[in-house]
Amino acid sequence: MSINIETLVTLIIYLVVMLIIGYIAGKMTSDLSDYVLGGRRLTPGIAALSAGASDMSGWLMLGLPGAVYLFGIGQIWLPLGLSIGAYLNWQIVAKPLRVYTEVANDSITVPDYFENRFHDTSKTLRVVSAVIILIFFTFYTSSSLVGGAILLQESFNMDYKLALWVGAAVILSYTIFGGFLAASWTDFLQGVLMFLALIIIPVVVIYQLGGWSETVQLVGSINLAHLDVYTGATLASVISLLAWGLGYFGQPHIIVRFMGIRSTRDIPKARFIGMTWMILSLLGAVFIGFVGIAYFADNPLENPETVFIMFSQILFNPWVAGILLAAILSAIMSTVDSQLLVSSSALAQDFYKAIFRKNASKKEEMFVGRISVVVIAIIAIFMGYNPDSKVLDLVSYAWAGFGAAFGPLIVISLFWKRMTKNGALAGMIVGALTVILWAIPKGGFLGIYELLPGFVLSSLAIILVSLLGRPPSKGVKDEFDIVKKRLKED
């Protein structure tokens, strides 16, 4: 693709707006709590869309449409599993986690919550969970940066390594200075942009193809299997795709939005906004791939994941094409900034302050948090230096790792008073190890996605070890009762 000046100018304007937002948010950020949790003042709309945008990444704009374009409507099982999981996460976890993290010594990070929830003076829970976050998020971030670099490379003939650094530099600029507020505000705008792009493109294509019935007939004439939701599906594959939804309970960059929302009374509204955005966006992505089967029937795409990019070039003028490309970059950036922020908080709050400098000043904590963002990003950049590297394959692996290690721990800790520190530790370790070992054989054992056995075994480990050990202290139980009382009052 040749460089189009109008498209490039539009993209540059978008990136400048992101930097301005980061600057404004930086002026409102005074301590580490502000930096990593926004001072718990997110409005429902910002909390909902920033959670959704930080969740989806470039997979929503590139991977999902590409999979549907290649295999047909049978790919619907994954979006279905994700929608169910996201709804249950909002319904089950959001409200009690918002209350518990405040009651438990105003916990501002996920490891912080684990330590305070179980009154763990040994720092074991904090350190183990922080290590898991750093390992998985470094790979996760690298995969997202690679996706952004490929987009810039293919859109503007930019050198791959230069594109990698350019994309990372913009994200770093507003994340370093603005922290959580910058990430959340930019995620909100990026979420709106992603939503509009995913809705507009399939509507325009369906109109050009003569309507919905004509589109379906065209797809069926190419391959009837593309219209069958069970095409290529086995019991194991359907279960595995639906099991992706379990991962939501343990994703730090998503659940931290629940911790930062302004009030528990805002959660029902935020849930409605978030789920509406997510379901319509997922359907839009599915339909982009589906209509692409018919539209490109006479000239099939070499790379299925470019179906969104090709539509933006063919259907719209260069200015609109720039906005649509910005939507793809938005999906990538909104995930990377959240991942960097959670990782930096793990280093600043859960290692530096908790272990090395307990009396660190607020400015010192902020400085360490910002330096951590840079260090993690640089490591992720070098990991993604090879455009043909397999790091992109680790996205599902990282999702499974967080879901299995943290998911059962988060859910059970919110609802079971008898849960102990050792039970929490056992659950984290068993969940993470199960994901690692299960994924060693190609395709996993029995073709089952490693998140499912990891989640189940982690839950069993938590329950068994908690029951076999000594009950929690009176202080832990009293705190649990305080949370339950506050939830009833709300």
316 in the Ramachandran plot: left (φ > 0), alpha (ψ -120 to 50) or beta? beta
Range 5-386 classified under CATH 1.10.3720.10: no
User: What is the pLDDT, as a whole number, of residue 312?
Assistant: 86
φ and ψ at 39, to 5 degrees? 65, 20
Q: Which of 44-48, 199-203, 255-259, 269-273 has the lowest mean pLDDT?
A: 44-48
AA identity, residue 401: G
Residue % of the chain over a pLDDT of 90: 39
pLDDT grade for 178, boundaries at 50, 70 and 90:
low
User: Which positions ≥6 away from 26 have C-beta within 8 Å?
Assistant: 177, 178, 179, 182
Q: Which residue has the higher pLDDT, 204 or 328?
A: 204
Look at residue 465 in the predicted model and tell me its pLDDT.
98
pLDDT tens, position by position, 395-419 = 788 899 999 999 999 999 999 999 9
Cβ(87)–Cβ(55) below 8 Å: no
Which comes out higher in pLDDT, residue 206 or 333?
206
Question: pLDDT tens, 429-458?
Answer: 999 999 989 877 765 677 789 999 999 999
Q: Quote the percentage of the chain above a pLDDT of 70.
A: 89
The amino acid that residue 409 corresponds to is L
Instruction: Measure the CA–CA gap between 374 and 211, rounded to whole angstroms.
Output: 49
Q: How many Å from the N-terminal Cα to the C-terminal Cα in the chain?
A: 55
CA distance 262 to 181: 12
DSSP letters, 336-381, are HHHHHHHHHHHHIIIIIIIII-TT--HHHHHHHHHHHHHHHHHHHH
More confident site: 356 or 197 = 197
Exposed/middle/buried for residue 122 (C-beta within 10 Å: 0-12, 13-18, 19+): exposed
Residue listed under structure tokens 């370093």: 176
- CA-nearest of 253, 184, 186, 251 to 43 is 184
Confidence of residue 1 (pLDDT cuts 50, 70, 90): very low
Q: What is the mean pLDDT of residues 16-28?
A: 72
Say which range, 144-148, 257-261, 458-462, has the weakest mean pLDDT. Answer: 144-148
pLDDT at 392 over 60: no
pLDDT tens digits for range 221-268: 998 989 998 877 788 888 988 999 999 999 988 888 898 888 899 999
State the pTM of this model: 0.86
pLDDT score, position 177? 58
For residue 219, what pLDDT is reported?
93
Q: Where are the domains of the chain?
A: 5-386
**Is the pLDDT assigned to residue 59 strictly greater than 90?**
no
| Dist CA 403 CA 435 (whole Å) | 10
